[in-house]
Amino acid sequence: MNEILARREGAIGRLSLNRPRALNALAQAMCEDMSVALLQWRDDPGVEAVILDHVGGRGFCAGGDVVSVRHSALEDGGVAGRAFFMAEYRLNHLLFTFPKPVIAFMDGVTMGGGVGLALPANIRVATENTLFAMPEGSIGLFPDVGAGYYLPRLPGHIGKFLALTGARLDGAECLWAGLATHYCDSDDLAEAKELIAKEPAAADEILRDLATSTPDARIAGNAAAIARLFAPDTLEEVKAALAADDSNWASKELKAVRSRCPTSAKVALRLFSMGSQHSDFATEMELEYRIAAHMIMRNDFAEGVRAVLVDKDNSAKWKPAKAEDVTSQILDAIFAPLPAGEEWTPLALPN
Ligand code: QUE
- Tell which atom from ligand 1 comes closest to the C-alpha of 166: 21
Residue 23 Cβ < 6 Å to ligand 1: yes
Q: Residue 350: is its pLDDT beyond 70?
A: no
Euclidean distance between CA atoms 153 and 89, whole angstroms? 19
Is the alpha carbon torsion for 315, 319, 325, 327 positive or negative?
Answer: negative
Phi first, then psi: give them for residue 48, nearest 5 degrees.
-100, -20
Mean pLDDT over 180-189 rounds to: 97
Residue 112 Cβ < 6 Å to ligand 1: yes
Query: pLDDT tens-digit profile of 97-141?
Result: 999 999 999 999 999 999 999 999 999 999 999 999 999 999 999
**What is the CA angle 65-66-68, rounded to 5?**
75
Mean pLDDT over 203-229 rounds to: 95
Residue among 116, 127, 108 at smallest CA distance from 180: 127
Angle between helices 158-165 and 248-259 (to 10 degrees): 60
Mean pLDDT over 196-216 rounds to: 95
Residue 163 Cβ < 6 Å to ligand 1: no
Euclidean distance between CA atoms 117 and 144, whole angstroms? 12
Mean pLDDT over 306-330 rounds to: 98
The gap between the terminal CA atoms of the chain, to the nearest Å, is 33
Please indicate whether residue 144 is annotated as part of the active site. yes
- Residue 335: band (very low, low, confident or very high) from pLDDT cuts 50, 70, 90: very high
298 to 66, 166, 331: CA distances (angstroms): 14, 20, 12
Query: pLDDT tens-digit profile of 278-290?
Result: 889 999 999 999 9
Please indicate whether residue 304 is annotated as part of the active site. no
Domain 4-334, second-level architecture: Alpha-Beta Complex (3.90)
Please indicate whether residue 78 is annotated as part of the active site. no
- Tell which atom from ligand 1 comes closest to the C-alpha of 23: 19
Residue 46 is classified by DSSP as T
CA of 28 to the centre of ligand 1 (A): 15
Beta-carbon count within 10 A of 245 CB? 16
Mean pLDDT over 299-308 rounds to: 98
Q: Residue 313: is its pLDDT beyond 70?
A: yes
Q: Residue 312: is its pLDDT beyond 60?
A: yes
- Tell which atom from ligand 1 comes closest to the C-alpha of 113: 17
Residue 196 Cβ < 6 Å to ligand 1: no
Catalytic-labelled residue, pool 13, 108, 112, 113:
113
Residue 22 Cβ < 6 Å to ligand 1: yes
User: Which class for 336: exposed (0-12), middle (13-18), buried (19 or more C-beta within 10 A)?
Assistant: exposed
Query: pLDDT tens-digit profile of 39-74?
Result: 999 999 999 999 999 998 899 999 999 999 999 999
316 to 14, 161, 261: CA distances (angstroms): 39, 21, 8
pLDDT number for residue 349: 60
- Tell which atom from ligand 1 comes closest to the C-alpha of 141: 22
Residue 219 Cβ < 6 Å to ligand 1: no
3-state DSSP of 241-283: HHHHCCCHHHHHHHHHHHHCCHHHHHHHHHHHHHHCCCCCHHH
Residue among 124, 94, 141 at smallest CA distance from 260: 141
Q: How does the average pLDDT of the chain come out, rounded?
A: 97
Half-sphere exposure of 261 toward its Cβ, with a 13 Å CA cutoff? 29
Residue 307 Cβ < 6 Å to ligand 1: no
Q: Residue 351: is its pLDDT beyond 70?
A: no
Residues ≥6 apart with Cβ < 8 Å to 153: 159, 276
Euclidean distance between CA atoms 312 and 288, whole angstroms? 27
CA of 306 to the centre of ligand 1 (A): 11
